[in-house]
């Protein structure tokens, strides 16, 4: 039996060694700070710009509404089919 090996193991697992807690600062001494990077500020400006932009561009929509109402709006079947297939491919991850 190796006694010195046992004493080394005992030293590792010994409860006698207690780490002293560091002195904590008073709650009034700690101040939190926040800083934003320039990219974060740019993103915030972009979000505000998007939020201020209307969802529907009435000037563009009105032009197409008038063309449809007058019967002058014409879309070729081939163009429609190409766009439809492109959207299908995009939705299914084929592009």
Q: pLDDT tens digits for 28-43?
A: 667 888 887 889 889 9
Q: Given a cut of 70, is residue 82 above it in pLDDT?
A: yes
pLDDT of residue 20: 59
pLDDT of residue 14: 66
Spell out the long-range contacts of 12-18 with Cβ–Cβ below 8 A and sequence spacing 24 or more.
none
* Helix extents (H) in the chain: 3-12, 38-52, 58-70, 77-91
**Residue at token pair 């009034």:** 28
Contact between 86 and 80 under an 8 Å Cβ cutoff? The reply is no
**pTM of the predicted model as reported, rounded to 2 decimal places:** 0.35
Contact between 89 and 95 under an 8 Å Cβ cutoff? The reply is yes
């Amino acid at each position: 039996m190796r006694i010195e090996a046992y004493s080394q193991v005992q030293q590792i697992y010994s409860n006698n060694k207690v780490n002293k807690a560091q002195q904590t600062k008073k709650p009034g001494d700690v101040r939190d700070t926040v800083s934003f990077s320039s990219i974060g500020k740019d993103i915030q400006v972009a979000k505000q710009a998007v939020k201020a932009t209307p969802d529907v561009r009435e000037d563009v929509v009105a032009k197409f509404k008038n063309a449809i109402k007058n019967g002058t709006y014409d879309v070729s079947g081939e163009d429609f089919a190409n766009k439809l297939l492109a959207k299908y491919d995009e939705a299914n991850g084929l592009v």
